[in-house]
Amino acid sequence: MPRLARTFMDHSCYHIITRGNQRQRVFMRDKDYIRYLEILKKAKQRYNILLYSYCLMQNHVHLLIETVSSRNMSKFMQWLNRGYSAYFNASYKTVGHLWQGRFISKPILKDQYMLHCANYIESNPLRAKTCMVDNISDYK
């Protein structure tokens, strides 16, 4: 039985989470983070997505975005994840899935919770099990 299609709304905000397959690292070196951000920038422009907040962790990504057209949400994430997967697999001589299943998308109302969500995303490096930084201002 095929899985149900997701429903997205025009001009709506979403907290997007995409995680490495089996929680594996998806960013090994600084250049990987830079490459992901380059692909993200192109995907935003291509699919007319507004990006409010993001955090790239070692094994997952958080995005706070707004869709202008709901039809572009899945295409945006597919293009972004495929583009980075191709780069990663070529760089590290690997094959197969980099990302674990479908991305998670949680709708966000444009109110106080949106600010809370942005704060949560941006402070993620402090809360990680590996605690990537001791002070958030040290996180690139």
Write down all domains in the chain, each with its CATH number in brackets: 12-132 (3.30.70.1290)
User: What three-state secondary structure class fits 48?
Assistant: coil
**DSSP structural state of residue 49:** E
State residue 5's pLDDT score: 61
Query: What is the C-alpha separation between 108 and 25, in angstroms, rounded?
Result: 27
User: What three-state secondary structure class fits 41?
Assistant: helix
Q: Of the candidates 74, 93, 116, 91, which has an alpha carbon nearest to the alpha carbon of residue 33?
A: 91
Q: What integer best gives the mean pLDDT of the chain?
A: 87
Q: Of the candidates 49, 25, 29, which has an alpha carbon nearest to the alpha carbon of residue 39?
A: 49
Task: Answer with the residue of higher pLDDT: 71 or 95.
Answer: 95
**DSSP structural state of residue 93:** T
State residue 129's pLDDT score: 60
Query: What is the C-alpha separation between 12 and 50, in angstroms, rounded?
Result: 10
- What is the rounded end-to-end Cα distance, in angstroms, of the chain? 43
Q: Residue 83 — pLDDT band, cuts 50, 70, 90?
A: very high
Tens of pLDDT, residues 33-70: 999 999 999 999 999 999 999 999 999 999 999 988 87
Q: Residue 120 — pLDDT band, cuts 50, 70, 90?
A: confident
Task: Answer with the residue of higher pLDDT: 40 or 8.
Answer: 40
